[in-house]
Amino acid sequence: MSNPEKDTAQSENRRKLEEFNSNGRRARRGKKDQSSDSDKRKDPKSWRARWEEAKKLAENAEKHSTKKPDGKDDKKKRPFRSIVSYIAVVLLIGTGIFWFFAPGGFSPIKTSEGIQILEKSEIVKERIQVTDGSQVVQVWLAKEFTPHDLEGKKGSPTKKVQFQFVSAQADKVEDLVSHAKAKNGYNSVVPQQSFLGSLLTLVLPLLILFGLLMWMLPKIQQGSMGAFGRVKKDGLEEDRPDVTFADVAGADEAVEELQEIEEFIDHPDKFRKMGAKIPRGVLLYGPPGTGKTLLAKAVAGEAGVPFFHISASEFVEMFVGVGASRVRDLFTKAKKLAPAIIFVDEIDAVGRNRGQGMGGGNDEREQTLNQLLVEMDGFDERANVIVIAATNRPDVLDPALLRPGRFDRQIAVDAPDLKGRSAILKVHAEGKPLADGIELESIARRTPGFAGAELANLLNEAALLATRREHEAIQEDDLDEAIDRVIAGPQRRTHVMNADEKRMTAYHEGGHAVAAAALNHTDPVTKVTILPRGRALGYTMVMPTEDKYSVSRNELLDQLVYAMGGRVAEEIVFHDPSTGASNDIQKATDIARKMVMEYGMSAKVGSVRLVPDESDPMTRLGGGGQREYSDDLARVIDDEVHQLLETAHQEAWTLMMENRHVLDALAAALLEKETILEKELAEIFTKIVKTPARQQWLSSPNRPVSDLPPVPLPVVAPNEAQASDDASESNGTSAEHDAPAGENHE
């Protein structure tokens, strides 16, 4: 808002300056008048002093002015005022139309007063008019009438009154009007809209719409619509990350590969002298939460170059061609600020295989992908702009995107191994007070398969629990509870089971634990609880002693028996199984079907992969994809899956009958303590009876069995073992098939 005092001061300053300039021009022309000479003689200030004073006034006026030197207003245009002005004009037009067509001069009165006027003959009535539809009676009186409102207050005297009536009073009003004896009679009017009113009703909305279009047209011409084709502001503005490789832990191999990329950016001439070309693109792939974005920021932070971070889904909008335009816009900006790094997150949103689309949205995605391929091919080799992309699904990317010359390097960023998890926990434990005696390596052993983001969340949950419990530092029980919350969900303290349900849950979880202890290829049981947590009534936790990179057939068969342990315990003890084993049956069925259809572990089906191709669009849409085997083979697959599950069920039954005494002891301990840890479990399992080893599996009975053993493992000297441990500490890979961290009883 403008300040009247400031505006007055500015006007006065300008007036004095103009007056001074005018006097100066007259003095230079030699046309001074006598009054001017006398004023100058009276004023003690010299001409130079007056000039300095006027100059200061001018500078002050210019300082408070809202005009730019080019004469344009420096204040931003306020579209709100324009909108208000348009609305005000429309309201004025509507008000004028209302007053133009509204009958004037009539004072509304109560219905009771109107009926009295019609009934009393002493009140002289000039004429009466009844309007149909609106149910209004208008009366012209010979003398003024003073109406009263519902509260009894008097109104202004008037000779023209009107009142309304309801449909039930229509007959009475009609009778009163006909007997009112008005001097000029009465008239009934059926309201009809005039031609001008009809025209305005039709034209006024069009005028309003036209006004809105005229208001929007200048903005469209100024390029507002062109913003659809530009990358959003967050993606266009470069960032200067302060993250370095020192902030990255548990991914040493990926860091080693990316350090060379940072060298390419910092010292490109060193590589060009050897004839090496700078990689144009780097693809980081791996499960979610493993630190792909952090690695990309670390490269830019180490090199100190602009960093453009954008999600691939931001390229695609509802308008065709927008994605390709945004790709061009992003690469143009990056080339201007080269050397630079462009990071495209979730590139599979636009980088999927082409030619398999099912609609116009896919055509737009393909146009965006084509433009991305062209931009990466059209890079100047000396532009020094590197594209880093991240995805969880490298198998669905278009082959043209992965060829050399585009994404030259493909770096796996897997879940960290044991030492990687320990290093990640050390990074995220900084700034969090830990109680004495807490070993992060022990926590790393209890979290197999955890990604970096999950480990960070675990420590954050522990810090929140410690704060809630008013601990001065994070205690061991805080970490235990945090691990349970991350794996199985928060504990449901208000969920109270009755005695029978609690006993069945104890036997169910005890069945899983006994099966794991009796089998030969399972991981040790570390915890059993019957406290409800998340969606489970209890759970059994088994932890691998080391990271695994593959799983044998016997280990998979033991997982099937382990999954059936809870159901078998219910059958043996209660002879009436519950629905709590539904999740176990689902997991066992998935494992058995993968053994037959993916892993080639069925003698009847053979070493054939029969699962649908992930690149099939029907598979991605949940349609199951096209089945590439016959109905006869499908029946064989079902029979083999059923046979695996039935065999596992029988093995679980046999070992549970042999270890019934251990099962009863474990169930009794669970009913008493609700949670049993590894040391107590080891004491209970001292009397466990192990299952015998399975017979050697043959992929075909016609193949001869070899009795030759494998070669012995090499003997590693202590110094070499230490060197091997140090080398494995820098290994960022993890198990492709980690053993399950826990089992839920739903």
Above 70 in pLDDT, residue 62?
no
User: To the nearest 10°, the Cα dihedral for 434, 435, 438, 441?
Assistant: 10
Read off the CATH number of the domain in which 633 is found.
1.20.58.760
Residues 716-743 pLDDT 10s: 665 555 555 554 444 433 333 333 334 4
Residue 370 shares a structural domain with residue 477:
no
DSSP three-state, residue 390: strand
Write down the pLDDT at residue 90: 64
84, containing H or E segment: helix 79-101
Write down the pLDDT at residue 554: 94
Read off the CATH number of the domain in which 118 is found.
3.30.720.210
Range of the domain at 144: 102-191
> Which of 311-325, 598-612, 662-676, 689-703 has the least mean pLDDT?
311-325
DSSP three-state, residue 96: helix
> Which of 442-446, 518-522, 650-654 has the least mean pLDDT?
442-446
Could you tell me how many helices (H) and strands (E) the chain has, helices first?
A: 26, 14
Band of residue 269 on the pLDDT scale cut at 50, 70, 90: confident
Above 70 in pLDDT, residue 17?
no
Residue 680 shares a structural domain with residue 638:
yes
Q: Is 360 marked as binding a ligand?
A: no
Residue 549 shares a structural domain with residue 510:
yes
Given the DSSP bridges, would you call strands 538-542 and 525-529 parallel, antiparallel or unpaired? Answer: antiparallel
Expressed in angstroms, the distance from the first to the final Cα of the chain is 66
Rounded to 5 degrees, what angle do the CA atoms 80, 86, 91 make?
Answer: 125
Band of residue 703 on the pLDDT scale cut at 50, 70, 90: confident
Residue 106 shares a structural domain with residue 253:
no
Residue 402 shares a structural domain with residue 441:
no
Is 729 one of the annotated active-site residues of the chain? no
| pLDDT (average), residues 125-153 | 81
Given the DSSP bridges, would you call strands 158-164 and 107-108 parallel, antiparallel or unpaired? Answer: parallel
Question: Is residue 25 situated within a structural domain?
Answer: no
Distance of alpha carbon 297 from alpha carbon 241, whole angstroms: 6
- What is the pLDDT of the chain when averaged over all its residues? 77
Proportion of the chain above pLDDT 70, given as a percent? 72
> Which range, 141-155, 210-224, 647-661, is most confident?
647-661
DSSP three-state, residue 573: helix
Read off the CATH number of the domain in which 465 is found.
1.10.8.60
DSSP three-state, residue 99: helix
Q: Is 146 marked as binding a ligand?
A: no
Band of residue 614 on the pLDDT scale cut at 50, 70, 90: low
Write down the pLDDT at residue 641: 95
> Which of 14-23, 173-182, 474-483 has the least mean pLDDT?
14-23
> Which of 22-31, 292-301, 463-472 has the least mean pLDDT?
22-31
User: Which DSSP letter does residue 313 get?
Assistant: G
Q: Is 289 marked as binding a ligand?
A: yes
Question: Is residue 69 situated within a structural domain?
Answer: no
- The distance of Cα 709 from the centroid of its chain, to the nearest Å, equals 55
> Which of 226-230, 610-614, 663-667, 700-704 has the least mean pLDDT?
226-230
Question: Is residue 480 situated within a structural domain?
Answer: yes
Write down the pLDDT at residue 46: 53
Q: Is 357 marked as binding a ligand?
A: no
> Which range, 318-332, 641-655, 683-697, is most confident?
641-655
716 versus 255: the higher-pLDDT residue is 255
Write down the pLDDT at residue 382: 59
Distance of alpha carbon 691 from alpha carbon 518, whole angstroms: 6
Above 70 in pLDDT, residue 658?
yes
Above 70 in pLDDT, residue 9?
no
Write down the pLDDT at residue 233: 46
Q: Is 529 marked as binding a ligand?
A: no
Distance of alpha carbon 104 from alpha carbon 93, whole angstroms: 18
Q: Of 670, 686, 702, which residue sits at a domain end?
A: 686
Non-local (6+) Cβ contacts of 596 within 8 A are 602, 605, 610, 637, 640, 641, 644
Q: Is 287 marked as binding a ligand?
A: yes
Q: Is 584 marked as binding a ligand?
A: yes
Residue 295 shares a structural domain with residue 186:
no
CA within 13 Å, CB half, 744: 17
Q: Is residue 163 within 8 Å of residue 118, measured between CB atoms?
A: no
> Which range, 15-24, 28-37, 303-312, 427-436, is most confident?
427-436
> Which of 90-104, 120-134, 698-712 has the least mean pLDDT?
90-104
Proportion of the chain above pLDDT 90, given as a percent? 19
Q: How far is CA 402 from CA 191, 347, 365, in A?
A: 77, 12, 17
Q: Is 290 marked as binding a ligand?
A: yes
Question: Is residue 208 situated within a structural domain?
Answer: no
Band of residue 241 on the pLDDT scale cut at 50, 70, 90: confident
Q: Of 686, 702, 734, which residue sits at a domain end?
A: 686
Residue 308 shares a structural domain with residue 162:
no
The residue written with tokens 């008000």 in the block is 95
Residues comprising the chain, all counted: 746
Distance of alpha carbon 656 from alpha carbon 663, whole angstroms: 8
Residues 112-133 pLDDT 10s: 888 888 888 778 777 888 887 7
Residue 264 shares a structural domain with residue 343:
yes
Above 90 in pLDDT, residue 666?
yes
Closest CA to 416 of 449, 390, 443: 449
Residue 509 shares a structural domain with residue 463:
no
Question: Is residue 87 situated within a structural domain?
Answer: no
Non-local (6+) Cβ contacts of 250 within 8 A are 291, 416, 417, 420, 421, 423, 424, 452, 732
Q: Which of 509, 570, 651, 743 is catalytic?
A: 509
Burial of 249 (0-12, 13-18, 19+ CB in 10 A): buried
Residues 327-340 pLDDT 10s: 888 888 888 888 88
131, containing H or E segment: strand 125-131
Q: Is 250 marked as binding a ligand?
A: no
Q: How far is CA 617 from CA 205, 603, 614, 741, in A?
A: 48, 31, 8, 33
**SS3 of 527-579:** EEECCCECCECEEEEECCCCCCCCCCHHHHHHHHHHHHHHHHHHHHHHCCCCH
> Which of 11-20, 109-118, 460-469, 606-615 has the least mean pLDDT?
11-20
Above 70 in pLDDT, residue 358?
no
Write down the pLDDT at residue 68: 45
Question: Is residue 386 situated within a structural domain?
Answer: yes
Read off the CATH number of the domain in which 258 is found.
3.40.50.300
Closest CA to 309 of 365, 219, 236: 236
Instruction: Report helix angle 418-429 to 718-729, nearest 10.
Output: 60
Write down the pLDDT at residue 560: 96
Residue 402 shares a structural domain with residue 255:
yes
State the alpha helices, DSSP H only, in 222-251.
233-236
Residue 288 shares a structural domain with residue 393:
yes
Write down the pLDDT at residue 561: 96
Above 90 in pLDDT, residue 589?
yes
Domain count, the chain: 4
| pLDDT (average), residues 394-415 | 85
Question: Is residue 230 situated within a structural domain?
Answer: no
Q: Of 488, 511, 530, which residue sits at a domain end?
A: 488
Residue 399 shares a structural domain with residue 424:
no
Write down the pLDDT at residue 728: 46
Question: Is residue 249 situated within a structural domain?
Answer: yes
Above 70 in pLDDT, residue 100?
no
